[in-house]
Structure 1
Amino acid sequence: MSVDILNCDATAEAARPSAAAAPKEGDVLGRIGNLETRLARSAREIDAAQAVRYRVFVEEMKAQLPADAMRRERDFDAYDAFCDHLLVLDRSIEGDAEDQIVGTYRLLRQDVAMANGGFYSASEFAIDELIARHPDKRFMELGRSCVLPQYRTKRTVELLWQGNWAYALKHGMSAMFGCASFPGVHPESHALALSFLYHSVLAKNEWAVGALPHLARDMDLMPAEGVNPKKALMALPPLIKGYLRLGAMVGSSAVVDQAFNTTDVLIVLPISSISDRYLNYYGADAGRFAS
Protein backbone atom coordinates (compact mmCIF):
# COMPACT_ATOMS: atom_id res chain seq x y z
CA MET A 1 0.00 0.00 0.00
CA SER A 2 1.23 3.45 -0.80
CA VAL A 3 2.51 5.22 2.26
CA ASP A 4 3.64 8.66 3.27
CA ILE A 5 7.23 8.29 4.37
CA LEU A 6 10.21 10.56 4.84
CA ASN A 7 13.35 9.84 6.77
CA CYS A 8 14.07 12.17 9.67
CA ASP A 9 16.91 11.72 12.14
CA ALA A 10 15.78 11.78 15.75
CA THR A 11 17.54 11.66 19.07
CA ALA A 12 16.75 8.92 21.55
CA GLU A 13 14.91 11.47 23.67
CA ALA A 14 12.71 12.59 20.79
CA ALA A 15 12.00 8.94 20.00
CA ARG A 16 10.13 8.33 23.20
CA PRO A 17 6.38 8.79 22.75
CA SER A 18 5.27 11.74 24.84
CA ALA A 19 2.39 11.46 27.26
CA ALA A 20 1.61 15.05 26.29
CA ALA A 21 0.58 13.78 22.86
CA ALA A 22 -2.30 11.80 24.34
CA PRO A 23 -5.62 13.46 23.46
CA LYS A 24 -8.63 13.94 25.66
CA GLU A 25 -11.57 11.56 25.82
CA GLY A 26 -14.18 11.71 23.08
CA ASP A 27 -11.61 10.89 20.43
CA VAL A 28 -13.46 8.10 18.60
CA LEU A 29 -13.85 9.29 15.00
CA GLY A 30 -15.64 6.42 13.27
CA ARG A 31 -16.71 2.76 13.28
CA ILE A 32 -17.37 0.19 10.59
CA GLY A 33 -18.19 -3.30 11.83
CA ASN A 34 -15.46 -4.53 14.14
CA LEU A 35 -13.09 -1.74 13.08
CA GLU A 36 -12.82 1.54 14.96
CA THR A 37 -10.80 4.65 14.25
CA ARG A 38 -9.75 7.07 16.97
CA LEU A 39 -6.77 8.99 18.23
CA ALA A 40 -4.08 7.34 20.29
CA ARG A 41 -4.78 7.80 24.00
CA SER A 42 -1.42 6.95 25.55
CA ALA A 43 2.31 6.70 25.00
CA ARG A 44 1.90 2.92 24.84
CA GLU A 45 -0.52 3.22 21.94
CA ILE A 46 1.83 5.58 20.08
CA ASP A 47 4.62 3.07 20.61
CA ALA A 48 2.40 0.32 19.19
CA ALA A 49 1.62 2.48 16.16
CA GLN A 50 5.36 3.00 15.65
CA ALA A 51 5.76 -0.79 15.71
CA VAL A 52 3.13 -1.15 12.98
CA ARG A 53 4.95 1.48 10.94
CA TYR A 54 8.21 -0.44 11.38
CA ARG A 55 6.58 -3.66 10.15
CA VAL A 56 5.35 -1.95 6.99
CA PHE A 57 8.21 0.42 6.21
CA VAL A 58 11.20 -1.73 7.19
CA GLU A 59 10.13 -5.37 7.14
CA GLU A 60 7.94 -5.04 4.05
CA MET A 61 9.28 -2.05 2.10
CA LYS A 62 12.95 -2.40 3.13
CA ALA A 63 13.44 1.12 4.46
CA GLN A 64 16.68 1.90 6.26
CA LEU A 65 15.96 3.82 9.46
CA PRO A 66 18.52 5.33 11.86
CA ALA A 67 20.38 2.74 13.92
CA ASP A 68 18.41 3.32 17.13
CA ALA A 69 15.11 2.86 15.31
CA MET A 70 16.33 -0.36 13.73
CA ARG A 71 17.50 -1.64 17.10
CA ARG A 72 14.20 -0.81 18.80
CA GLU A 73 12.13 -2.02 15.81
CA ARG A 74 10.11 1.18 15.82
CA ASP A 75 9.70 3.86 13.15
CA PHE A 76 9.92 7.13 15.04
CA ASP A 77 11.07 10.70 14.69
CA ALA A 78 10.86 13.96 16.61
CA TYR A 79 7.42 14.77 15.16
CA ASP A 80 5.77 11.88 16.96
CA ALA A 81 5.87 13.77 20.24
CA PHE A 82 3.49 16.54 19.13
CA CYS A 83 1.45 15.02 16.27
CA ASP A 84 -1.89 13.31 16.81
CA HIS A 85 -1.89 9.64 15.88
CA LEU A 86 -5.00 8.30 14.15
CA LEU A 87 -5.40 4.58 14.71
CA VAL A 88 -7.52 1.84 13.20
CA LEU A 89 -8.21 -0.91 15.69
CA ASP A 90 -9.73 -4.33 15.08
CA ARG A 91 -11.88 -4.84 18.16
CA SER A 92 -12.28 -8.55 17.38
CA ILE A 93 -8.62 -9.16 18.27
CA GLU A 94 -8.17 -10.36 21.84
CA GLY A 95 -5.89 -8.32 24.07
CA ASP A 96 -5.26 -4.70 24.89
CA ALA A 97 -5.81 -1.81 22.48
CA GLU A 98 -2.11 -1.88 21.61
CA ASP A 99 -2.59 -5.41 20.23
CA GLN A 100 -5.54 -4.32 18.08
CA ILE A 101 -3.85 -1.56 16.03
CA VAL A 102 -3.88 -2.51 12.34
CA GLY A 103 -3.37 0.90 10.70
CA THR A 104 -2.27 4.43 11.49
CA TYR A 105 -2.03 7.97 10.16
CA ARG A 106 -0.09 10.84 11.69
CA LEU A 107 -1.93 14.18 11.79
CA LEU A 108 -0.34 17.60 12.23
CA ARG A 109 -2.36 20.81 12.41
CA GLN A 110 -0.87 24.09 11.23
CA ASP A 111 -0.90 25.78 14.64
CA VAL A 112 0.91 22.84 16.20
CA ALA A 113 3.42 22.67 13.34
CA MET A 114 4.24 26.37 13.57
CA ALA A 115 4.83 26.03 17.31
CA ASN A 116 7.25 23.16 16.74
CA GLY A 117 9.42 24.20 13.81
CA GLY A 118 7.16 23.63 10.82
CA PHE A 119 5.62 20.85 8.79
CA TYR A 120 7.31 17.53 8.22
CA SER A 121 6.79 17.58 4.42
CA ALA A 122 8.68 20.89 4.20
CA SER A 123 11.94 18.93 4.13
CA GLU A 124 11.00 17.78 0.60
CA PHE A 125 8.39 20.20 -0.76
CA ALA A 126 7.86 23.97 -0.84
CA ILE A 127 5.13 23.89 1.81
CA ASP A 128 5.94 27.34 3.19
CA GLU A 129 5.24 28.95 -0.20
CA LEU A 130 1.88 27.17 -0.46
CA ILE A 131 0.79 28.23 3.01
CA ALA A 132 1.94 31.83 2.50
CA ARG A 133 -0.57 32.16 -0.36
CA HIS A 134 -3.43 31.21 1.96
CA PRO A 135 -3.14 33.28 5.16
CA ASP A 136 -6.86 32.85 5.79
CA LYS A 137 -6.78 29.03 5.65
CA ARG A 138 -5.83 26.39 8.21
CA PHE A 139 -3.78 23.50 6.88
CA MET A 140 -3.47 19.94 8.16
CA GLU A 141 -0.72 17.49 7.24
CA LEU A 142 -1.39 13.78 6.79
CA GLY A 143 1.63 11.55 7.21
CA ARG A 144 3.08 8.12 8.00
CA SER A 145 0.07 6.32 6.54
CA CYS A 146 0.26 2.56 6.74
CA VAL A 147 -2.03 -0.45 7.11
CA LEU A 148 -1.07 -4.05 7.80
CA PRO A 149 -1.29 -6.19 4.64
CA GLN A 150 -4.32 -8.27 5.62
CA TYR A 151 -6.33 -5.10 6.35
CA ARG A 152 -5.69 -3.30 3.06
CA THR A 153 -9.33 -3.30 2.07
CA LYS A 154 -11.82 -0.70 0.90
CA ARG A 155 -13.45 -0.75 4.34
CA THR A 156 -10.21 0.12 6.15
CA VAL A 157 -9.40 2.94 3.73
CA GLU A 158 -12.93 4.33 4.11
CA LEU A 159 -12.58 4.25 7.87
CA LEU A 160 -9.25 6.07 7.77
CA TRP A 161 -10.83 8.75 5.61
CA GLN A 162 -13.83 8.99 7.88
CA GLY A 163 -11.38 9.58 10.72
CA ASN A 164 -9.43 12.20 8.79
CA TRP A 165 -12.64 13.98 7.79
CA ALA A 166 -14.09 13.97 11.31
CA TYR A 167 -10.78 15.28 12.68
CA ALA A 168 -10.71 18.04 10.04
CA LEU A 169 -14.28 19.04 10.90
CA LYS A 170 -13.56 19.04 14.61
CA HIS A 171 -10.55 21.34 14.23
CA GLY A 172 -11.91 23.61 11.48
CA MET A 173 -9.32 22.69 8.85
CA SER A 174 -9.43 24.28 5.37
CA ALA A 175 -7.08 21.97 3.47
CA MET A 176 -5.12 18.74 3.84
CA PHE A 177 -1.80 17.83 2.30
CA GLY A 178 0.80 15.11 2.62
CA CYS A 179 3.25 12.89 0.81
CA ALA A 180 2.20 9.71 -0.95
CA SER A 181 4.74 7.27 -2.27
CA PHE A 182 5.51 4.98 -5.16
CA PRO A 183 7.79 2.02 -4.44
CA GLY A 184 11.38 2.30 -5.56
CA VAL A 185 13.81 5.13 -6.28
CA HIS A 186 13.50 5.26 -10.08
CA PRO A 187 10.71 7.64 -11.13
CA GLU A 188 11.10 6.46 -14.72
CA SER A 189 9.67 3.08 -13.73
CA HIS A 190 6.43 4.89 -12.86
CA ALA A 191 6.44 7.08 -15.99
CA LEU A 192 2.82 6.28 -16.94
CA ALA A 193 1.35 6.97 -13.49
CA LEU A 194 3.46 10.06 -12.78
CA SER A 195 2.73 11.54 -16.20
CA PHE A 196 -0.99 10.92 -15.70
CA LEU A 197 -0.87 12.79 -12.39
CA TYR A 198 1.06 15.65 -13.97
CA HIS A 199 -1.27 16.06 -16.96
CA SER A 200 -4.58 15.32 -15.23
CA VAL A 201 -4.58 16.51 -11.62
CA LEU A 202 -1.74 19.02 -11.33
CA ALA A 203 -2.18 21.59 -8.58
CA LYS A 204 -2.23 25.00 -10.30
CA ASN A 205 -2.41 28.71 -9.55
CA GLU A 206 -2.90 29.41 -5.84
CA TRP A 207 -2.53 25.69 -5.03
CA ALA A 208 0.61 25.11 -7.10
CA VAL A 209 3.47 23.50 -5.21
CA GLY A 210 6.65 21.71 -6.18
CA ALA A 211 9.55 19.90 -4.62
CA LEU A 212 12.48 21.84 -3.22
CA PRO A 213 14.68 22.69 -6.24
CA HIS A 214 17.66 20.57 -5.22
CA LEU A 215 15.41 17.51 -4.76
CA ALA A 216 12.92 17.93 -7.61
CA ARG A 217 12.47 15.12 -10.13
CA ASP A 218 10.35 15.47 -13.27
CA MET A 219 6.91 13.88 -13.36
CA ASP A 220 6.24 14.95 -16.97
CA LEU A 221 7.83 11.81 -18.38
CA MET A 222 5.36 11.09 -21.21
CA PRO A 223 3.37 13.40 -23.51
CA ALA A 224 -0.29 13.79 -22.56
CA GLU A 225 -1.46 12.09 -25.76
CA GLY A 226 0.63 9.04 -24.91
CA VAL A 227 -1.00 8.47 -21.50
CA ASN A 228 -3.73 5.84 -21.31
CA PRO A 229 -5.86 7.00 -18.33
CA LYS A 230 -7.32 3.57 -17.60
CA LYS A 231 -3.90 1.91 -17.49
CA ALA A 232 -2.48 4.82 -15.51
CA LEU A 233 -5.17 4.54 -12.85
CA MET A 234 -4.45 0.84 -12.52
CA ALA A 235 -0.78 1.68 -11.95
CA LEU A 236 -1.47 4.11 -9.10
CA PRO A 237 -0.97 2.99 -5.50
CA PRO A 238 -4.31 2.56 -3.64
CA LEU A 239 -3.73 5.50 -1.32
CA ILE A 240 -3.20 7.90 -4.21
CA LYS A 241 -6.33 6.63 -5.96
CA GLY A 242 -8.22 7.25 -2.73
CA TYR A 243 -6.95 10.83 -2.61
CA LEU A 244 -7.98 11.43 -6.23
CA ARG A 245 -11.50 10.13 -5.62
CA LEU A 246 -11.84 12.82 -2.97
CA GLY A 247 -10.81 15.55 -5.40
CA ALA A 248 -7.10 15.88 -4.57
CA MET A 249 -4.47 17.57 -6.69
CA VAL A 250 -0.77 16.69 -6.99
CA GLY A 251 2.35 18.84 -6.85
CA SER A 252 4.42 19.43 -9.97
CA SER A 253 7.52 17.41 -9.10
CA ALA A 254 8.52 14.30 -7.22
CA VAL A 255 11.27 13.51 -4.71
CA VAL A 256 13.33 10.33 -4.43
CA ASP A 257 13.82 9.11 -0.87
CA GLN A 258 16.76 6.71 -0.87
CA ALA A 259 16.44 5.75 2.79
CA PHE A 260 12.83 4.68 2.45
CA ASN A 261 13.19 3.26 -1.06
CA THR A 262 10.35 5.41 -2.43
CA THR A 263 9.46 8.12 -4.92
CA ASP A 264 7.30 10.72 -3.18
CA VAL A 265 4.65 13.04 -4.59
CA LEU A 266 2.77 15.76 -2.73
CA ILE A 267 -1.01 15.50 -2.44
CA VAL A 268 -3.02 18.71 -1.91
CA LEU A 269 -6.69 18.48 -0.94
CA PRO A 270 -8.68 21.64 -0.23
CA ILE A 271 -11.74 20.77 1.83
CA SER A 272 -13.84 22.76 -0.67
CA SER A 273 -12.68 20.46 -3.48
CA ILE A 274 -14.02 17.26 -1.98
CA SER A 275 -16.79 16.10 -4.27
CA ASP A 276 -20.36 16.29 -3.00
CA ARG A 277 -20.71 12.53 -3.22
CA TYR A 278 -17.84 11.92 -0.82
CA LEU A 279 -18.65 14.95 1.30
CA ASN A 280 -22.10 13.50 1.90
CA TYR A 281 -20.78 9.97 2.35
CA TYR A 282 -18.21 10.84 4.97
CA GLY A 283 -19.75 14.01 6.33
CA ALA A 284 -23.08 12.52 7.43
CA ASP A 285 -21.45 9.95 9.66
CA ALA A 286 -18.26 11.82 10.53
CA GLY A 287 -20.30 14.73 11.77
CA ARG A 288 -21.51 12.53 14.64
CA PHE A 289 -17.93 12.18 15.81
CA ALA A 290 -16.77 15.73 15.13
CA SER A 291 -18.51 17.64 17.91
Structure 2
Amino acid sequence: MLSALTPTKHLADADLLGRIGTLETRIARNAAEVDAAQAVRYQVFVEEMHAGVASDHAARRRDVDSWDDVCDHLLVLDRAIEGDTTDQIVGTYRLLRQDVAERGAGFYSQSEFDVNTLIARHPGKRFMELGRSCVLPAYRTKRTLELLWQGNWAYALKHRIDVMFGCASFHGTDPASHALALSFLHHHLTAQGEWEAHALPELAASMNLMPLDAIDTRKALSAMPPLIKGYIRLGAKVGHEAVVDHAFGSTDVLIVLPIESISGRYLSYYGADANRFGAQES
Protein backbone atom coordinates (compact mmCIF):
# COMPACT_ATOMS: atom_id res chain seq x y z
CA MET A 1 0.00 0.00 0.00
CA LEU A 2 1.13 3.58 -0.50
CA SER A 3 1.72 4.04 3.23
CA ALA A 4 4.24 1.18 3.11
CA LEU A 5 6.52 2.75 0.50
CA THR A 6 10.17 3.05 1.34
CA PRO A 7 11.13 6.75 1.57
CA THR A 8 13.65 8.04 -0.96
CA LYS A 9 15.77 11.15 -0.98
CA HIS A 10 13.58 12.52 -3.77
CA LEU A 11 10.02 11.98 -2.52
CA ALA A 12 7.94 11.70 0.58
CA ASP A 13 5.72 8.61 0.78
CA ALA A 14 2.54 10.61 0.16
CA ASP A 15 3.82 11.88 -3.21
CA LEU A 16 4.65 8.55 -4.75
CA LEU A 17 1.96 6.69 -6.69
CA GLY A 18 4.16 3.86 -7.95
CA ARG A 19 7.66 2.65 -8.73
CA ILE A 20 9.19 0.05 -11.03
CA GLY A 21 12.98 -0.09 -10.94
CA THR A 22 14.31 3.42 -11.51
CA LEU A 23 10.95 4.69 -12.81
CA GLU A 24 8.56 6.52 -10.51
CA THR A 25 5.16 8.12 -11.01
CA ARG A 26 3.53 10.97 -9.15
CA ILE A 27 1.65 14.24 -9.70
CA ALA A 28 3.65 17.35 -10.65
CA ARG A 29 4.33 19.52 -7.61
CA ASN A 30 5.04 22.91 -9.11
CA ALA A 31 5.09 25.10 -12.21
CA ALA A 32 8.63 24.05 -13.16
CA GLU A 33 7.58 20.39 -13.36
CA VAL A 34 4.48 21.25 -15.41
CA ASP A 35 6.70 23.27 -17.76
CA ALA A 36 9.01 20.27 -18.14
CA ALA A 37 6.00 18.03 -18.90
CA GLN A 38 4.93 20.51 -21.57
CA ALA A 39 8.42 20.24 -23.08
CA VAL A 40 8.04 16.44 -23.26
CA ARG A 41 4.65 16.90 -24.92
CA TYR A 42 6.22 19.27 -27.45
CA GLN A 43 8.87 16.70 -28.34
CA VAL A 44 6.23 14.02 -28.94
CA PHE A 45 3.27 15.92 -30.38
CA VAL A 46 5.03 18.65 -32.37
CA GLU A 47 8.50 17.39 -33.26
CA GLU A 48 7.53 13.74 -33.75
CA MET A 49 3.85 13.92 -34.78
CA HIS A 50 3.91 17.40 -36.40
CA ALA A 51 1.00 18.88 -34.46
CA GLY A 52 0.47 22.59 -34.85
CA VAL A 53 1.03 24.97 -31.93
CA ALA A 54 0.92 28.73 -31.52
CA SER A 55 4.07 30.54 -32.62
CA ASP A 56 4.91 31.76 -29.12
CA HIS A 57 4.66 28.22 -27.80
CA ALA A 58 6.78 26.93 -30.67
CA ALA A 59 9.44 29.51 -29.83
CA ARG A 60 9.50 28.16 -26.28
CA ARG A 61 9.28 24.54 -27.50
CA ARG A 62 6.27 23.84 -25.30
CA ASP A 63 2.84 22.27 -25.93
CA VAL A 64 0.53 24.49 -23.87
CA ASP A 65 -3.17 25.20 -23.61
CA SER A 66 -5.55 26.83 -21.14
CA TRP A 67 -6.45 23.56 -19.42
CA ASP A 68 -2.89 23.10 -18.17
CA ASP A 69 -3.51 25.62 -15.40
CA VAL A 70 -6.39 23.65 -13.87
CA CYS A 71 -5.36 20.04 -14.52
CA ASP A 72 -3.17 17.78 -12.44
CA HIS A 73 -0.19 16.49 -14.39
CA LEU A 74 0.83 12.87 -13.84
CA LEU A 75 4.55 12.32 -14.39
CA VAL A 76 6.76 9.31 -14.99
CA LEU A 77 10.33 10.03 -13.96
CA ASP A 78 13.50 8.04 -14.52
CA ARG A 79 15.64 8.53 -11.42
CA ALA A 80 18.64 7.07 -13.26
CA ILE A 81 18.88 10.26 -15.34
CA GLU A 82 21.36 12.71 -13.88
CA GLY A 83 20.08 16.18 -13.08
CA ASP A 84 17.03 17.72 -11.47
CA THR A 85 13.54 16.25 -11.41
CA THR A 86 12.63 18.39 -14.42
CA ASP A 87 15.33 16.58 -16.40
CA GLN A 88 13.98 13.16 -15.44
CA ILE A 89 10.42 13.38 -16.84
CA VAL A 90 9.96 10.76 -19.56
CA GLY A 91 6.16 10.53 -19.72
CA THR A 92 3.08 12.46 -18.70
CA TYR A 93 -0.71 12.34 -18.52
CA ARG A 94 -3.12 15.21 -17.86
CA LEU A 95 -5.94 14.60 -15.37
CA LEU A 96 -9.04 16.77 -14.96
CA ARG A 97 -11.65 15.96 -12.34
CA GLN A 98 -15.29 16.85 -12.90
CA ASP A 99 -15.52 19.17 -9.90
CA VAL A 100 -12.52 21.15 -11.16
CA ALA A 101 -13.83 21.28 -14.74
CA GLU A 102 -17.22 22.55 -13.58
CA ARG A 103 -15.59 25.41 -11.68
CA GLY A 104 -13.67 26.44 -14.80
CA ALA A 105 -13.98 26.12 -18.57
CA GLY A 106 -15.29 22.56 -18.64
CA PHE A 107 -13.56 19.57 -20.20
CA TYR A 108 -11.16 19.64 -23.15
CA SER A 109 -13.20 16.90 -24.86
CA GLN A 110 -16.27 19.14 -24.96
CA SER A 111 -14.78 20.95 -27.96
CA GLU A 112 -15.24 17.75 -30.01
CA PHE A 113 -17.71 15.46 -28.24
CA ASP A 114 -21.05 15.82 -26.48
CA VAL A 115 -19.77 14.78 -23.07
CA ASN A 116 -22.33 16.98 -21.30
CA THR A 117 -25.15 14.62 -22.28
CA LEU A 118 -23.11 11.61 -21.18
CA ILE A 119 -22.34 13.16 -17.78
CA ALA A 120 -25.94 14.34 -17.30
CA ARG A 121 -27.13 10.72 -17.47
CA HIS A 122 -25.03 9.92 -14.39
CA PRO A 123 -25.65 12.68 -11.81
CA GLY A 124 -24.37 10.53 -8.96
CA LYS A 125 -21.06 9.58 -10.57
CA ARG A 126 -17.72 11.39 -10.54
CA PHE A 127 -16.03 11.76 -13.95
CA MET A 128 -12.35 12.35 -14.72
CA GLU A 129 -10.90 13.30 -18.09
CA LEU A 130 -7.61 11.79 -19.24
CA GLY A 131 -5.64 13.64 -21.88
CA ARG A 132 -2.32 14.63 -23.43
CA SER A 133 -0.80 11.23 -22.77
CA CYS A 134 2.70 10.83 -24.16
CA VAL A 135 5.97 9.00 -23.52
CA LEU A 136 9.41 9.71 -24.96
CA PRO A 137 10.38 7.18 -27.66
CA ALA A 138 13.09 5.43 -25.65
CA TYR A 139 10.62 4.76 -22.83
CA ARG A 140 7.73 3.28 -24.80
CA THR A 141 7.88 0.04 -22.91
CA LYS A 142 5.47 -2.10 -20.93
CA ARG A 143 6.83 -0.87 -17.59
CA THR A 144 6.31 2.81 -18.48
CA LEU A 145 2.73 2.20 -19.61
CA GLU A 146 2.10 0.16 -16.47
CA LEU A 147 3.28 3.04 -14.32
CA LEU A 148 1.07 5.52 -16.17
CA TRP A 149 -1.91 3.27 -15.48
CA GLN A 150 -0.79 2.71 -11.91
CA GLY A 151 -0.73 6.48 -11.44
CA ASN A 152 -4.15 6.95 -13.05
CA TRP A 153 -5.67 4.17 -10.95
CA ALA A 154 -4.18 5.40 -7.66
CA TYR A 155 -5.31 8.97 -8.43
CA ALA A 156 -8.81 7.79 -9.37
CA LEU A 157 -9.13 5.86 -6.11
CA LYS A 158 -7.88 8.81 -4.08
CA HIS A 159 -10.50 11.11 -5.60
CA ARG A 160 -13.30 8.50 -5.67
CA ILE A 161 -13.65 8.63 -9.45
CA ASP A 162 -16.36 6.49 -11.04
CA VAL A 163 -15.71 7.11 -14.75
CA MET A 164 -12.59 7.92 -16.77
CA PHE A 165 -12.95 9.33 -20.27
CA GLY A 166 -11.09 11.41 -22.82
CA CYS A 167 -9.92 11.85 -26.39
CA ALA A 168 -7.50 9.31 -27.83
CA SER A 169 -5.90 9.90 -31.21
CA PHE A 170 -4.89 8.27 -34.44
CA HIS A 171 -2.08 10.09 -36.22
CA GLY A 172 -3.17 12.05 -39.27
CA THR A 173 -6.33 13.74 -40.49
CA ASP A 174 -7.59 11.15 -42.98
CA PRO A 175 -9.92 8.67 -41.25
CA ALA A 176 -9.79 6.43 -44.33
CA SER A 177 -6.13 5.71 -43.60
CA HIS A 178 -7.29 4.08 -40.36
CA ALA A 179 -10.35 2.38 -41.86
CA LEU A 180 -9.56 -1.06 -40.44
CA ALA A 181 -9.03 0.08 -36.84
CA LEU A 182 -11.87 2.60 -36.83
CA SER A 183 -14.30 0.10 -38.33
CA PHE A 184 -13.31 -2.47 -35.72
CA LEU A 185 -14.12 0.07 -33.01
CA HIS A 186 -17.41 0.91 -34.71
CA HIS A 187 -18.60 -2.68 -35.01
CA HIS A 188 -17.33 -4.07 -31.72
CA LEU A 189 -16.71 -1.36 -29.14
CA THR A 190 -19.11 1.58 -29.45
CA ALA A 191 -20.69 2.44 -26.11
CA GLN A 192 -24.39 1.69 -25.87
CA GLY A 193 -27.29 2.57 -23.61
CA GLU A 194 -26.45 4.78 -20.66
CA TRP A 195 -22.81 5.09 -21.81
CA GLU A 196 -23.58 6.05 -25.41
CA ALA A 197 -21.66 9.13 -26.58
CA HIS A 198 -21.48 11.08 -29.82
CA ALA A 199 -19.27 13.61 -31.53
CA LEU A 200 -20.62 17.13 -31.98
CA PRO A 201 -22.81 16.90 -35.11
CA GLU A 202 -20.87 19.48 -37.09
CA LEU A 203 -17.59 17.62 -36.44
CA ALA A 204 -18.69 13.99 -36.61
CA ALA A 205 -16.80 11.64 -38.95
CA SER A 206 -18.11 8.12 -39.47
CA MET A 207 -16.05 5.21 -38.21
CA ASN A 208 -18.13 2.73 -40.23
CA LEU A 209 -15.65 2.53 -43.10
CA MET A 210 -15.55 -1.24 -43.69
CA PRO A 211 -18.19 -3.98 -43.40
CA LEU A 212 -17.96 -6.27 -40.41
CA ASP A 213 -17.16 -9.36 -42.48
CA ALA A 214 -14.14 -7.63 -44.02
CA ILE A 215 -12.43 -6.97 -40.67
CA ASP A 216 -9.53 -9.11 -39.51
CA THR A 217 -9.50 -8.69 -35.72
CA ARG A 218 -5.79 -9.44 -35.30
CA LYS A 219 -4.80 -6.94 -37.97
CA ALA A 220 -7.24 -4.35 -36.63
CA LEU A 221 -5.78 -4.54 -33.13
CA SER A 222 -2.27 -4.40 -34.55
CA ALA A 223 -3.21 -1.18 -36.33
CA MET A 224 -4.39 0.49 -33.12
CA PRO A 225 -2.23 3.10 -31.40
CA PRO A 226 -0.81 1.57 -28.18
CA LEU A 227 -2.81 3.93 -25.97
CA ILE A 228 -6.14 2.98 -27.56
CA LYS A 229 -5.20 -0.70 -27.46
CA GLY A 230 -4.47 -0.28 -23.75
CA TYR A 231 -7.86 1.29 -23.13
CA ILE A 232 -9.55 -1.60 -24.95
CA ARG A 233 -7.74 -4.14 -22.81
CA LEU A 234 -8.94 -2.39 -19.68
CA GLY A 235 -12.53 -2.63 -20.85
CA ALA A 236 -13.19 0.77 -22.42
CA LYS A 237 -15.80 1.58 -25.05
CA VAL A 238 -15.73 4.40 -27.60
CA GLY A 239 -18.08 7.06 -28.89
CA HIS A 240 -20.05 6.47 -32.07
CA GLU A 241 -18.11 8.88 -34.30
CA ALA A 242 -14.59 10.21 -34.70
CA VAL A 243 -13.51 13.85 -35.00
CA VAL A 244 -10.73 15.14 -37.25
CA ASP A 245 -8.54 17.64 -35.40
CA HIS A 246 -6.78 19.52 -38.20
CA ALA A 247 -4.89 21.80 -35.83
CA PHE A 248 -3.39 18.90 -33.94
CA GLY A 249 -3.04 16.66 -36.97
CA SER A 250 -5.05 13.78 -35.54
CA THR A 251 -8.24 11.76 -35.81
CA ASP A 252 -9.81 11.53 -32.35
CA VAL A 253 -12.14 9.04 -30.74
CA LEU A 254 -13.84 9.38 -27.37
CA ILE A 255 -12.87 6.78 -24.80
CA VAL A 256 -15.42 5.92 -22.09
CA LEU A 257 -14.22 3.77 -19.18
CA PRO A 258 -16.48 3.31 -16.14
CA ILE A 259 -14.48 1.97 -13.23
CA GLU A 260 -17.05 -0.80 -12.83
CA SER A 261 -16.26 -1.97 -16.38
CA ILE A 262 -12.50 -2.38 -15.89
CA SER A 263 -11.52 -5.95 -16.61
CA GLY A 264 -11.23 -8.01 -13.44
CA ARG A 265 -7.82 -9.32 -14.38
CA TYR A 266 -6.49 -5.76 -14.54
CA LEU A 267 -8.01 -4.85 -11.19
CA SER A 268 -6.27 -7.91 -9.79
CA TYR A 269 -3.02 -6.98 -11.53
CA TYR A 270 -2.84 -3.38 -10.31
CA GLY A 271 -4.49 -4.09 -6.97
CA ALA A 272 -7.91 -3.00 -5.78
CA ASP A 273 -6.13 -0.46 -3.57
CA ALA A 274 -3.57 0.48 -6.29
CA ASN A 275 -0.71 -1.25 -4.49
CA ARG A 276 0.61 -3.36 -7.40
CA PHE A 277 3.71 -1.21 -7.95
CA GLY A 278 3.61 0.71 -4.69
CA ALA A 279 6.51 -1.00 -2.98
CA GLN A 280 8.83 -1.79 -5.88
CA GLU A 281 12.43 -0.92 -5.10
CA SER A 282 15.10 0.50 -7.38
TM-score in same-fold range (> 0.5):
yes
Give 2:242's match in structure 1, choosing from 230, 234, 254. 254
Letter in 1 for 2:222: M
Tell me, in whole angstroms, the C-alpha distance in 1 between the residues paired with 2:169 and 2:52.
Answer: 16
Give 1:234's match in structure 2, choosing from 201, 222, 227. 222
Instruction: Give the match for residue 84 of structure 1.
Output: 72
Deviations 1:202-258 (A, max 9, x none): 111110001100000000111111111111001001001100110000110001111
Tell me, in whole angstroms, the C-alpha distance in 2 between the residues paired with 1:240 and 1:67.
Answer: 30
Tell me, in whole angstroms, the C-alpha distance in 1 between the residues paired with 2:82 and 2:30.
Answer: 19
Give 2:24's match in structure 1, choosing from 16, 32, 36. 36
Instruction: Give the match for residue 36 of structure 2.
Output: 48
Deviations 1:92-119 (A, max 9, x none): 0011000000000000000000000211
Secondary structure of residue in 2 paired with 1:26: helix
Contact 1:169–1:287 (CA<8 Å) still a contact in 2?
Answer: no
Secondary structure of residue in 1 paired with 2:248: coil
Gaps of 5+ in 1: 1-23
Instruction: Give the match for residue 205 of structure 1.
Output: 193
Tell me, in whole angstroms, the C-alpha distance in 1 between the residues paired with 2:210 and 2:52.
Answer: 31
Per the TM alignment, residue 91 of structure 1 is displaced from its structure 2 partner at its CA by 0.5
Instruction: Give the match for residue 125 of structure 1.
Output: 113
Letter in 2 for 1:38: R
1:106 aligns with 2:105: no
Letter in 2 for 1:52: V
Per the TM alignment, residue 59 of structure 1 is displaced from its structure 2 partner at its CA by 0.5
Contact 1:166–1:283 (CA<8 Å) still a contact in 2?
Answer: no
Per the TM alignment, residue 283 of structure 1 is displaced from its structure 2 partner at its CA by 2.1
Secondary structure of residue in 2 paired with 1:209: coil
Contact 2:157–2:273 (CA<8 Å) still a contact in 1?
Answer: no
Contact 1:165–1:283 (CA<8 Å) still a contact in 2?
Answer: no
- The CA RMSD measured in Å over matched residues stands at 1.3
Instruction: Give the match for residue 257 of structure 2.
Output: 269
Secondary structure of residue in 2 paired with 1:167: helix
Question: Structure 1 stretches (4+) deviating beyond 2 angstroms?
Answer: none
Alignment of 1:167-246 (within 5 A): 167-246=155-234
Per the TM alignment, residue 42 of structure 1 is displaced from its structure 2 partner at its CA by 0.9
Secondary structure of residue in 2 paired with 1:245: helix
Deviations 1:252-287 (A, max 9, x none): 000111111110001000000001110111125624
Tell me, in whole angstroms, the C-alpha distance in 2 between the residues paired with 1:188 and 1:97.
Answer: 42
Secondary structure of residue in 1 paired with 2:117: helix
Contact 1:130–1:209 (CA<8 Å) still a contact in 2?
Answer: yes
